[in-house]
Structure 1
């Protein structure tokens, strides 16, 4: 499960890079040109693009954190299982 979250985070990071390249300030300015009349609209699009990119980055970081937490839980569970098994007499060599 941790691997799935990690892959989703990786994919989102790739999409974010593409999104920034296609909708960054330079791309938006090129699309609108530098006409005075379009300055307000251009600024609004740039602000929206930046907000969307920031939100995508936050989701990416959250997915990465979930993947790390799941790995840690899995490690801790395995250690706890081994410790409980030892309490009940199971030897670390597979009970032989």
Structure 2
């Protein structure tokens, strides 16, 4: 089941698309019009979330930014990513891929 959600941060939109199967995030796509440097950090975050239990994704976001991220995110915060995630998990948009 595809879950989609967005959050309008102070300076940018963050969108999560999660393909979930049996409580596991099989694929995660993060997009939007926010700025993050280095740009590869978004892809690294996506990969760090894939294969994890849906219920543990919020903790995984915290872990990623505490351990793996050394960069800049002007006008957006870790909390903004977590809000977009929560909106996706609540949204449950049934776009069967």
**TM-score range for the pair, normalised by the shorter chain length:** 0.3 to 0.5
* Structure holding more helix per residue: 1
Please, what TM-score do these two structures have when normalized by structure 1? 0.33
Please, what TM-score do these two structures have when normalized by structure 2? 0.33
* Structure holding more strand per residue: 2
